[in-house]
A and B are shown apart, each in its own frame.
Chain A
Amino acid sequence: GNSVTQMEGPVTLSEEAFLTINCTYTATGYPSLFWYVQYPGEGLQLLLKATKADDKGSNKGFEATYRKETTSFHLEKGSVQVSDSAVYFCALRNGDDKIIFGKGTRLHILP
């Protein structure tokens, strides 16, 4: 079946550090891949997406590349800010409208 595995948190970094949150997936065919972010007290928001192999999604300084050979979609940012503190979810959509989410990674950025 379809599933998403992402690194467990919490992840704690200092401001301006480099961020990587690992995500791998299991799916048949060619799923669409997403990163969602959940800020404290707010609803989930789509951060970025990629719909085919080698596509790079990007938004707000975050990037992730759809790697079919390694079934991965790692989230990266070159210089994190305190305002990036949130829970990040990797997710996929494969042939229907169900979005399958990973368990989430909580990110704390220290000033």
Chain B
Amino acid sequence: DAGVTQSPTHLIKTRGQQVTLRCSPKSGHDTVSWYQQALGQGPQFIFQYYEEEERQRGNFPDRFSGHQFPNYSSELNVNALLLGDSALYLCASSLWGAREKLFFGSGTQLSVL
């Protein structure tokens, strides 16, 4: 049983570019959340998707957007990249009815130069 898978593992972009990160939830899960983990910090909640809709959002600007597909996979898009967007981006999946039981992927390491 595959866990949460994220792609790519690493990514390098330059300021002003746009990036798309991808996440496949654990088999059977229908809810996906995204977190940003800066170096030396704990993860910070970006947003959560269920039934292809954004359900909750943290304190992130509109440059951060997402999407959930009918197969429950999800994308995180970041426009107009800033140096400060460099971080590990974590995807976590769960069942909507058991949202406290989160399973995390290993993350995508984004470097903005």
Contact = CB atoms under 8 A, between A and B. Distances in A.
Interface string A73-111: 000000000000000010101001111111110000000
A101 B41 CA distance: 9
Contacts of A93: 100
Interface residues of A, number: 21
Contact of B106 (A41, A89, A100, A101): A41
A46 interface: yes
Nearest to B38: A103
B90 interface: yes
B45 A89 contact: no
Contacts, number: 48
Interface string B20-43: 000000000000010000001111
A94 B99 CA distance: 13
A17 interface: no
Contact of B58 (A43, A89, A98, A104): A98
13 contacts: A41-B106, A43-B107, A44-B102, A49-B100, A89-B42, A89-B43, A91-B42, A96-B56, A97-B99, A98-B45, A101-B43, A103-B41, A103-B42
Given A97-B56, A101-B44, 19 more contacts: A41-B106, A42-B106, A43-B4, A43-B103, A44-B43, A44-B102, A44-B104, A45-B104, A49-B100, A89-B42, A89-B43, A97-B33, A97-B99, A99-B43, A99-B45, A99-B102, A103-B41, A104-B40, A104-B41
